[in-house]
Amino acid sequence: MELWKGRHDDDDWDRAQAALSASGVSDGLPVIPPTAQRVEAMLQVASADGAATIAVLPPSYAEVSWRDVAINAVLAGCAPEYLRVVAAAVEAIAAPEFNLLGIATTTGSATVCLIVNGPIAREIGMNGGANAFGPGNRANATIGRALRLTLQNVGGARAGEIDMATLGQPGKYTFCFTENESESPWEALHVERGFEAGASVVTAVGVSGTIEVVDSESQTPGDLAQTFAQSMLIAGNVGGAGLLGGGEPLIVMPPELADVFARGGCTKREAKAAIYERARLAIDRLAPAQRERAVAGGAAADGYLRVAAKADDVMIVVAGGVGRKGAYVPTWSGTTKAVSRVIRR
């Protein structure tokens, strides 16, 4: 690796980082100074009125303007063409059914996962293939980070003050990816949720972390459904109403695993049902106090906990590259629903 040979002023950069960190607008990583020129460039590319309000954002219930979002997008390192995605994500998490107040203030590890579908994901070069959850893609990394910074700097969810997560998780820095639509055997997430295939849509999901699911052997939908189902039965994730997490638990399948279901004749809805039917945890597996809580929730009348209220609540997204390693992304165990919003073009 070679040293950067472009123009720079180390002293100015260091002073800017120290000042921005002291002001509390950083997430702990270096940020890009939000100069007027950079912020206006963001707004011009999006053809947005900086003073216009996008949403009212918990936990502080502050009005969030396009300029607010542009400032945080610059801080995060976004390119100007990403701003419309971040703005749509702000709209999504402000929806009442998302329960941002709970997600932003809980002592749990809840964070926002963003899934982008449609033409804009290709236009801005998002990654839905190999290492989709990981580093290496500017759009994935900075869009999720910009949303988090907006939630912190405008919404008021500052770590240790309003955001009271006991441990937190790395996804609280950024968690954003796109679906691998070109290699999926099924309809894309946004189409399944009622949008046109040609629409650009962001879906926000309140999540607790990621669990790797590895199955290199199963060759039938039933066998693979069993692997996913058993990976979802996490006793420490018992949520309200006697459910394991509840909400809309997310399964992310690489194309090779999705193809096992498709070759076996399963639609996405049938794959969800096959997993859901097998994802049952006997309440006698729980510690006594947890068992009492589950029974009191009323959803364990047959002696089992379910991963969600119904099979259609399970979300399946196809993403990733070569390999048979998927992920279970548990819903935060508070009350939350995934929310989708069209990205302004």
Could you write out the DSSP letters of every residue in 61-117? Answer: TEEEEHHHHHHHHHHHT--GGGHHHHHHHHHHHHSGGG-HHHHHH-SS--EEEEEEE
**pLDDT at position 141 over 90:** yes
**pLDDT at position 4 over 70:** no
Q: At what angle do helices 36-46 and 66-76 cross, to 10 degrees?
A: 120
pLDDT value of residue 211: 95
DSSP bridge pairs for 325:
214
**What phi and psi values does residue 300 have, to the nearest 5 degrees?**
-120, 35
**What phi and psi values does residue 119 have, to the nearest 5 degrees?**
-55, -35
pLDDT value of residue 293: 76
Q: What is the pLDDT of residues 211-227, one digit of tens each?
A: 999 999 999 999 999 99
Collapsing DSSP to helix, strand or coil, 308 comes out as coil
H runs (alpha helix) in 3-35:
10-23
What are the residues whose beta carbons fall under 8 Å from the beta carbon of 307, sequence distance 6 or more?
A: 229, 232, 233, 243, 244, 245, 249, 276, 279, 314
Mean pLDDT of the chain: 93
In the numeric block, which tokens belong to residue 142? 């900075």
Distance CA 205, CA 92 (A): 9
Distance CA 30, CA 149 (A): 12
| Model confidence band, residue 237 (pLDDT cutoffs 50, 70, 90) | confident
pLDDT value of residue 107: 93
Distance CA 107, CA 48 (A): 36
pLDDT value of residue 142: 98
**pLDDT at position 192 over 70:** yes
For 96-129, give one letter per residue: b (16+ CB within 10 A) or e.
Answer: eebbbbbbbbbebbbbbbbbbbbebbeebebbbb
In the numeric block, which tokens belong to residue 316? 């399946």
End-to-end CA distance of the chain: 38
| Model confidence band, residue 122 (pLDDT cutoffs 50, 70, 90) | very high
Averaged pLDDT for residues 263-269: 97
| Model confidence band, residue 95 (pLDDT cutoffs 50, 70, 90) | very high
Averaged pLDDT for residues 56-72: 97
pLDDT value of residue 69: 98
**pLDDT at position 299 over 70:** no
300 to 134, 191, 220, 245, 264: CA distances (angstroms): 37, 33, 29, 14, 32
Averaged pLDDT for residues 10-21: 92
**pLDDT at position 245 over 80:** no
pLDDT value of residue 28: 96
pLDDT value of residue 242: 63
In terms of average pLDDT, the best of 175-179, 279-283, 292-296, 334-338 is: 175-179
pLDDT value of residue 82: 98
- Domain segments of the chain as ranges: 210-337
Pairing of strands 111-117, 62-65: unpaired
Element (H, E) at 170: none
DSSP bridge pairs for 250:
315, 329
In the numeric block, which tokens belong to residue 248? 């809309």
Averaged pLDDT for residues 288-294: 81
**pLDDT at position 171 over 90:** yes
What are the residues whose beta carbons fall under 8 Å from the beta carbon of 65, sequence distance 6 or more?
A: 50, 51, 52, 53, 54
What are the residues whose beta carbons fall under 8 Å from the beta carbon of 50, sequence distance 6 or more?
A: 39, 40, 43, 65, 66, 67, 70
Lowest mean pLDDT among 89-93, 120-124, 152-156, 244-248: 244-248
**pLDDT at position 241 over 80:** no
Averaged pLDDT for residues 16-38: 96
In the numeric block, which tokens belong to residue 267? 């639609």
- pTM across the whole model: 0.96
Collapsing DSSP to helix, strand or coil, 213 comes out as strand
**pLDDT at position 148 over 90:** yes
H runs (alpha helix) in 124-241:
138-153, 189-192, 221-231
Averaged pLDDT for residues 287-304: 78
